[in-house]
C-alpha cells in the first residue's frame, strides 16, 4: 500500500506555536502574581484557626461547668504561650503562628504571671478578653462575665 501523494505536506512541524508559548507565559505570570498574596495570607488564616480552637475550648469548659455543676478553669501562661485546663492538666501549647498572648480583664492582679478564666455552674464566668496576635494581626476572644458566652468577632 502506498501513501497518498501530498500527505507529508500537511504534517505540522514538531514544536510549539507562538500562540501556545504566549498562553503558557500568561498563565505562568498569573500564577507568579497570585502565589505571594496567598502565601502572605497563610499566617492570618492560621491565627484565626488558633483563635477558633481556643473559642471551642472555652465553650467546652463552660458547658462542662454547667453540666457537672462544678467550676472549670483555664490557666493561661502568656509568656510561655501555654495553657492548662482543670479537665485536662497536661499543658497545651499555642501554635507557632501565635506570637503573643495577652489576657485583659476588668480586675487585673498586678504582677501575676498566670491568667485564669473560670466558668461557674450557673453559666457565668470571670470574664475578660484574650488577644492572640501575629505581627500586626490580632484576633480578640471575649468572655462575657455575666453570661459566660465566648465570642470571636
Order of all β-strands in the sheet with 88-93? 88-93, 82-85, 72-77, 115-119
pLDDT score for 139: 96
Selected from 1.10.150.120, 3.30.365.10, 3.55.40.10, 3.40.50.150, the CATH number assigned to the domain covering 17-151 reads: 3.55.40.10
How high is the pLDDT of residue 10? 61
Whether the CB-CB separation of 81 and 35 falls below 8 Å is answered with: no
Q: Could you read off the pLDDT of 62-120 as tens digits, one per residue?
A: 999 999 999 999 999 999 999 999 988 899 999 988 999 999 886 656 667 889 999 99
Closest C-alpha to 71, from 62, 82, 58, 79: 62
pLDDT in tens, 17-52: 888 889 999 998 888 877 776 666 678 889 999 999
> Tell me, what's the pLDDT at 92?
95
Confidence of residue 15 (pLDDT cuts 50, 70, 90): confident
pTM for the model = 0.73
Amino acid at each position: 500500500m502506498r501513501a497518498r501523494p501530498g500527505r507529508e505536506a500537511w504534517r505540522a512541524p514538531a514544536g510549539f506555536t507562538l500562540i501556545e508559548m504566549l498562553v503558557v507565559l500568561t498563565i505562568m505570570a498569573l500564577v507568579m502574581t497570585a502565589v505571594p498574596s496567598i502565601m502572605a495570607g497563610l499566617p492570618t488564616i492560621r491565627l484565626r484557626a488558633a483563635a477558633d480552637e481556643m473559642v471551642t475550648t472555652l465553650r467546652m469548659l463552660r458547658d462542662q461547668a454547667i453540666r457537672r455543676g462544678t467550676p472549670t478553669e483555664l490557666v493561661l501562661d502568656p509568656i510561655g504561650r501555654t495553657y492548662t485546663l482543670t479537665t485536662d492538666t497536661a499543658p497545651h501549647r499555642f501554635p507557632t503562628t501565635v506570637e503573643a498572648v495577652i489576657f485583659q480583664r476588668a480586675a487585673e492582679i498586678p504582677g501575676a504571671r498566670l491568667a485564669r478564666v473560670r466558668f461557674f455552674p450557673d453559666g457565668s464566668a470571670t470574664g475578660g478578653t484574650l488577644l492572640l496576635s501575629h505581627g500586626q494581626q490580632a484576633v480578640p476572644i471575649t468572655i462575657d462575665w455575666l453570661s459566660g458566652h465566648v465570642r470571636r468577632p
